[in-house]
Structure 1
Amino acid sequence: MRIDFAPLYRSTVGFDRLFSLIDSLGNEAASQPTYPPYNIERTGETSYRISMAVAGFGEKDISIEAKENTLTVKGDKKDEGNDREVLYRGIASRAFERRFQLADYVVVKAASLENGLLHIDLVRELPEAMKPRQIPISTAANASAKQIEAQAA
Structure 2
Amino acid sequence: MTTSNYKLDRIDQKIIEILKLDGRISYQRLAELVHLTPRPCQERVRKLERVGVIRGYTALIDEPAPPQNGVILQLQIALASQSGRAAQAAFEAEVNQRADVLACWLVSGPFDYMLRLRCTDMDAYRTISNTWLSNTSFKIEKIISSPEMQTVKE
TM over 0.5: no
The structure number with the bigger radius of gyration is 1
**Bigger RCO of structures 1 and 2 (CA < 8 A, at least 6 apart):** 2
TM-score, reference length from structure 1: 0.26
Q: Name the one with the larger strand percent.
A: 1
